[in-house]
Structure formats: C-alpha cells, structure tokens
Amino acid sequence: MIGSNAFNYINVLDKAADASWKRNEVIANNIANVDTPGYKRKDVQFESYLQSALLGDNSLDKRVEGADLDTLDATTYTDNASLSYRLDGNNVDIDTESANLAQNQIKYYSLLDSMSQEFNRLKLVLTAK
C-alpha cells in the first residue's frame, strides 16, 4: 500500500484487486474439489466490508481518504454449509463455479486497468509543463 493521500483511490483499488485474487484462488480450489465427498464450497467476502468502510455523507474523496485500509481485508467463508447438491454432501456446482471464475477474472482485470489509469493520471499531472 502506498502511504500518501494522493494514492487513496489506488490503495482502495489495490485492496479490491487483492480480494479478487483471493477469490480466484478460492474458486479454483472449489473447482478442484468438485468430486470430493463432503466438500463445501467456499467464497470470499470483501465488497460488503468495502461498502461499510466507505459509508458516509461526505464526498467520495473524503470517504476514501477516511477509510481505514489497514483493517480492510477479504475473508474466506464456507458458503451454504448445510446445502448439498449431491448425496455425498458436496455442494459445488461446476457450472456456477465456472461462471463465478469468469466474472471474477473480468473484475480483476478491470481493477488492474483502473489502477493503471490512476497512475497514468498522476504521471500526466507530474509531467505537465
């Protein structure tokens, strides 16, 4: 994380990209365990934490500036632990996981693109004559 207020948006995007990367790993693990008896799918919670961190009536700039990013981390949880699609207790649906993986990859690359754009804006400001 970059320690300057000028990089607040980049730091938030970085945290979101880290969470997306973690979600990618969790989804890949779910897919790898699609045939494991008793396995319960896992997921990552981050977006609700980010939304809570950015709550307020101020402008988005002020909310991002005031967000405590040191405590904003993604957590892994077991999803629908009591639900099973099969008799062996496994609740992983390969079609759902494949769709989630594709969606998450799009989100991850969009976040990277947004960070790159923010850096380009800063570079433009610093090099303007």
Lowest mean pLDDT among 20-29, 66-75, 97-106, 110-119: 66-75
Task: Return the pLDDT at 113.
Answer: 96
Task: Return the pLDDT at 129.
Answer: 64
- What pTM did the predictor assign? 0.84
Query: Are 112 and 39 a contacting pair, CB within 8 Å?
Result: no
Task: Return the pLDDT at 73.
Answer: 92
Q: Distances in Å between the alpha carbon of 99 and those of 70, 93, 103, 112, 123?
A: 31, 10, 6, 20, 36
Per the model's pLDDT, the better-predicted residue between 74 and 61 turns out to be 74
Q: Where are the domains of the chain?
A: 5-127
Task: Return the pLDDT at 5.
Answer: 60
Instruction: Tell me the per-residue pLDDT of 91-129, one tens digit each, with 9 for 90 and over.
Output: 999 999 999 999 999 999 999 999 999 889 888 888 876
